[in-house]
């Protein structure tokens, strides 16, 4: 084979490698998004490896024996930055975010398609086959993401809304459900001939982005999400029971069990359960036990060893490597598990965790802890139609976390929504609650 004849084959190989490098960078990036979804900063090794893959992709595209292709450098950096910003938006929006991020999160299933036009023009304008391969791969992934989201969304079953959910919805919408649905892009809300239904999420559909609906718009947790939270909490408690792990309802879930007499808080967005590690139930045994059961029974399990934290989600794990793409979804239903260890702090026996929770006091070693006798021996409390393990002195535990826990705190991000909601609960006219009278 002559040198000239070998050239197209070489170029084809280089383009193929560039496309594959982009796929690796993309997967590494979506994997990273599990951190912001769980309110953590990405770990340094994971961030560095994603950065290295991105740098390698850009270098391969823009460097050749002829030197640096500046146009390809600019376009590849711009394309990766733009696509990844769009891809990350739904995960960033788990916390209060800028309007642009909120907008991109809301349209996360098709926002990437907006780049097809610019990518096509750039690919035509710059005759660099490696750049063209990266642009084509990036756009093919965005198109495939869009089609998969649309395909699964068709399976959403209809859920009726109860009177309480409906009255909260109508108040927050100021009576105009049609405008409210349009303004906030609430695709799940189905209005026909005066009947209001909710197009619910299921195990194989995209989740309801109820983090947004609940914390920003002040709605009650959707009926489908409540049902799945109930199923998931029973499942996780069952797994922990099988593993003989000492565990208890934590945070908002315990608050619901005690104050709301065994129900979820109206605006609950996850289930919290804590586990005490000891010689029998070590971190490794807990993590592997839950990961194996989740894989077997169709629940996605994420493990954050450094943070002492696990999250078990209602959605199924998905096939490798696509399972990481779930981090592009705008919501999720999950049970968060934090671990505690026995410790001594300021001369007292405590159970200690690494991450803060409510107003739980700091311990001598820099963690957060509760007196051991407030939790042990574990007792049970009725919750979501079953008996769940709970701290021995549940009310004392809640006071440590929330102070006067009988007083309802409206934890919404949006203060208008919180005021309107407080008005509904106090039984006063919603309009006077938000000062419109």
Q: Given the rule CB under 5 A, which residues bind Zn ion?
A: 201, 208, 222, 224-225
Backbone CA torsion sign across 290, 292, 293, 298: positive
Catalogue the long-range contacts made by 170-176 (C-beta closer than 8 Å, 24 or more residues apart).
171/420, 171/421, 171/423, 171/424, 171/430, 172/217, 172/218, 172/219, 172/417, 172/420, 172/421
Are the beta carbons of 329 and 311 closer than 8 angstroms? no
Residue closer to Zn ion (CB basis): 250 or 315: 315
Burial of 240 (0-12, 13-18, 19+ CB in 10 A): buried
Residue closer to Zn ion (CB basis): 40 or 216: 216
∠280-355-230 over CA atoms, to 5°? Answer: 70
Residue closer to Zn ion (CB basis): 229 or 237: 229
Specify the pairing of strand 368-371 against strand 379-383.
Answer: unpaired
What is the distance between the alpha carbons of residues 368 and 354, in angstroms, rounded to a whole number?
A: 6
Cα dihedral: 29, 32, 37, 41 (round 10)? -130
Residue closer to Zn ion (CB basis): 201 or 360: 201
Residue closer to Zn ion (CB basis): 172 or 220: 220
Residue closer to Zn ion (CB basis): 198 or 388: 198
Element (H, E) at 343: strand 334-345
Q: Considering the complex, what minimum distance in angstroms separates the CB of residue 187 from Zn ion?
A: 12
Helices (H) and strands (E) in the chain, counts: 17, 14
């Amino acid at each position: 084979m002559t040198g000239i004849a070998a050239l197209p084959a070489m170029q084809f190989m280089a383009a193929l490698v560039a496309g594959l490098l982009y796929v690796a960078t993309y997967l590494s990036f979506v994997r990273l998004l599990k951190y912001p979804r769980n309110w953590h900063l990405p770990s340094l090794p994971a961030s560095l490896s994603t950065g290295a893959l991105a740098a390698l992709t850009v270098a391969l595209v823009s460097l050749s024996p002829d030197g640096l292709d500046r146009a390809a450098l600019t376009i590849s950096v711009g394309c990766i930055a733009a696509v990844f910003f769009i891809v990350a938006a739904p995960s960033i929006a788990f916390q209060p975010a800028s309007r642009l991020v909120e907008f991109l999160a809301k349209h996360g299933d098709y926002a990437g398609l907006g780049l097809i036009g610019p990518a096509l023009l750039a690919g035509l304008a710059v005759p660099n086959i490696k750049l063209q391969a990266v642009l084509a791969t990036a756009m093919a992934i965005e198109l495939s993401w869009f089609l998969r989201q649309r395909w699964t969304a068709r399976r959403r079953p209809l859920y009726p809304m109860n009177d309480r959910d409906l009255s909260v919805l109508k108040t927050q919408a100021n009576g105009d459900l049609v405008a409210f649905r349009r303004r906030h892009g609430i695709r799940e809300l189905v209005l026909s001939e005066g009947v209001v239904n909710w197009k619910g999420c299921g195990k194989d559909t995209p989740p309801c982005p109820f983090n947004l609906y609940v914390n920003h718009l002040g709605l009650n947790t959707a009926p489908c999400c409540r049902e799945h939270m109930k199923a998931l909490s029973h499942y996780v408690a069952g797994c922990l029971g099988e593993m003989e792990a000492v565990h208890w309802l934590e945070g908002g879930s315990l608050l619901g069990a005690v104050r709301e007499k065994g129900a979820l808080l109206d605006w609950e967005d996850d289930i919290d359960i804590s586990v005490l590690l000891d010689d029998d139930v070590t971190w490794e045994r807990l993590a592997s036990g839950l990961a194996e059961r989740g894989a077997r029974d169709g629940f996605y399990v994420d493990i954050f060893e450094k943070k002492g934290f696990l999250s078990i989600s209602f959605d199924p794990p998905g096939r490798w490597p696509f399972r990481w793409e779930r981090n592009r979804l705008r919501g999720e239903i999950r049970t968060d598990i934090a671990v505690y260890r026995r410790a001594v702090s300021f001369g007292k026996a405590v159970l200690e965790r690494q991450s803060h929770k409510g107003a739980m006091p700091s311990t001598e070693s820099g963690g957060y802890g509760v007196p051991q006798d407030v939790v042990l021996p574990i007792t049970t409390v009725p919750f979501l139609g079953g008996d769940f393990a709970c701290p021995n002195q549940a009310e004392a535990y809640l006071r440590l976390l929330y102070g006067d826990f009988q007083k309802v705190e409206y934890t919404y991000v949006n203060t208008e929504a919180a005021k309107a909601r407080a008005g509904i609960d106090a039984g006063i006219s919603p309009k006077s609650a938000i000062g419109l009278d």
